[in-house]
Homo-oligomer: A and B are copies of this chain.
C-alpha cells in the first residue's frame, strides 16, 4: 500500500511525506465533519508511552459547538486522515460531540478517571 500512496520525490515538504507527519504539524491540524464543515482543530495528542501509539487526540471545538473553549479527547481511531483536505475527519454529529467527555481550561483532564469514560462513550477499546 505504501508505494501506491507515496508521491513522486520532491512534491512534499521535508517534515512530511505521504505517510509521515511531524507531531508538531498534527497539533493544530484542522478537523472537519463528513459534510466538510470545519469543526475545530487538534489541541494535543496523548501517546501510549509503551507501544508508541497515539491513544487520544484532544480536540478543540469551541466555536462549532458554541460552548466556549473546551477540549474533547477522542480516541485516535475516531479520526480519519483526509488527504484532499489535509486534515482529519470526525464522523460524529454535533450533539454527540457536545455531550462527549470534555474539559475546559479551568477543569483539567483527569486521565485516570476519564479514559474509561471516553472509551465507553465512543465504544472503543483502550490502546
Using a CB–CB cutoff of 8 Å, the interface residues on chain A facing chain B are 2, 6, 9, 12, 14-24, 26-27, 44-50, 52-56, 76-77, 81, 108-113, 115, 126
Complex: A115 Cα to B108 Cα, angstroms: 38
Task: Name A46's contact: one of B22, B44, B76 (CB within 8 Å).
Answer: B22
Residues of chain B contacted by A46 (CB below 8 angstroms): 20-23
Complex: A49 Cα to B45 Cα, angstroms: 13
The answer to whether B81 touches A14 (Cβ under 8 A) is no
The answer to whether A112 touches B23 (Cβ under 8 A) is no
CB-CB under 8 A for A15 and B109, given A20-B46, A21-B47, A23-B27? yes
The answer to whether A126 touches B21 (Cβ under 8 A) is no
Residues of chain B contacted by A55 (CB below 8 angstroms): 19-20
Report which residue of A14, A21, A47 has the largest number of chain B beta carbons within 10 angstroms of its beta carbon.
Answer: A47
Shortest 9 CB-CB distances between A and B: which pairs?
Answer: A23-B45, A52-B54, A14-B108, A52-B76, A17-B111, A23-B23, A49-B81, A20-B46, A21-B49
Chain B, Cβ-Cβ closest to A58: B22
